[in-house]
Structure formats: structure tokens, C-alpha cells
């Protein structure tokens, strides 16, 4: 089945540790996105990528890094510089940039990150 796979489902981070969240899609989508969602809040954009080897900062990029070496993969690293990383992280993809105008985003089922 085509879709977006995020792993792990749950992740725990120690102080001073970097952790990487995986996002893989087999939908042949060009654009991929990372969002953060805090309890009772909406989604906030961390980073997005419209094409391989290119990515842009979103609204809350500080303390995060990404790479886009392959079309299918867009891993997110939560660095030790992110002082409040506990949140629900959602990866999404769309056919073209921002969904190519009329195409919506499709989401993975998320990773819950907590501090130990």
C-alpha cells in the first residue's frame, strides 16, 4: 500500500542528546513537511522540502535539522538545542509544492517524543 511511514511511534530523549525521527513515503511525492503539534494546539511547520537536496525553514526551525538526500526520505533531527522537544511530530507529503496548488497533504501517523 502507498503511504507515509513514520518511526518510531514513541521516542524518549535524554538531556543533551540528539534524536532522529524517520519519515519515508512511497507515494512519489515531491514535497515533504515536518510539523510539531503540542497538546490542544494546532500544527506548526518546522521544515519543508519541495525537491531532493533542497529544504526550507518553517516557522519553528530552531533546534531542528533535516536532510533530503532521497525523494522518499525526509528525516528530522531534534538537537540538544531544542529545549522543549516534547510534542507530537507529524510528517506529511504532497504531490508538488504545497500540494501543487490544489493537492492536499497526506500525513504519517506521527511520532511522540518525550524527555526522560
Applying CB under 8 A, the residues found at the interface with other proteins are 33, 35, 40-43, 45, 50, 88, 90, 97-102, 104-110
Closest to other proteins by CB, 8 or 100: 100
Closest to other proteins by CB, 59 or 81: 59
Closest to other proteins by CB, 80 or 88: 88
- Decide: 63 and 77 in contact? Cβ < 8 Å: no
Name the minimum Å distance from CB 69 to other proteins: 22
Enter the C-alpha cell of residue 23: 519519515
Name the minimum Å distance from CB 27 to other proteins: 13
Closest to other proteins by CB, 25 or 105: 105
Name the minimum Å distance from CB 104 to other proteins: 5
Q: Hey, how many other C-beta atoms are within 10 angstroms of the C-beta on 91?
A: 27
Q: Which of 27, 35, 37, 104 has the alpha carbon at shortest distance from 76?
A: 35
Torsion from C-alpha of 81, 9, 93, 47, nearest 10 degrees: 0
Paired sense of beta strands 10-13 and 111-115, if any = parallel
Name the minimum Å distance from CB 42 to other proteins: 4
Amino acid at each position: 500500500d502507498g503511504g507515509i511511514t513514520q518511526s518510531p511511534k514513541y521516542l524518549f530523549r535524554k538531556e543533551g542528546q540528539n534524536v532522529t525521527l524517520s519519515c519515508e513515503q512511497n507515494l512519489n511525492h515531491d514535497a515533504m513537511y515536518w510539523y510539531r503539534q503540542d497538546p490542544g494546539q494546532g500544527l506548526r511547520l518546522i521544515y519543508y522540502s519541495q525537491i531532493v537536496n533542497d529544504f526550507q525553514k518553517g516557522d519553528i526551525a530552531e533546534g531542528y535539522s533535516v536532510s533530503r538526500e532521497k525523494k522518499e526520505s525526509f528525516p528530522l533531527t531534534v538537537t540538544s538545542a531544542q529545549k522543549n522537544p516534547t510534542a507530537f511530530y507529524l510528517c506529511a507529503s504532497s504531490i508538488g509544492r504545497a500540494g501543487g496548488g490544489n493537492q492536499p497533504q497526506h500525513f504519517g501517523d506521527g511520532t511522540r517524543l518525550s524527555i526522560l
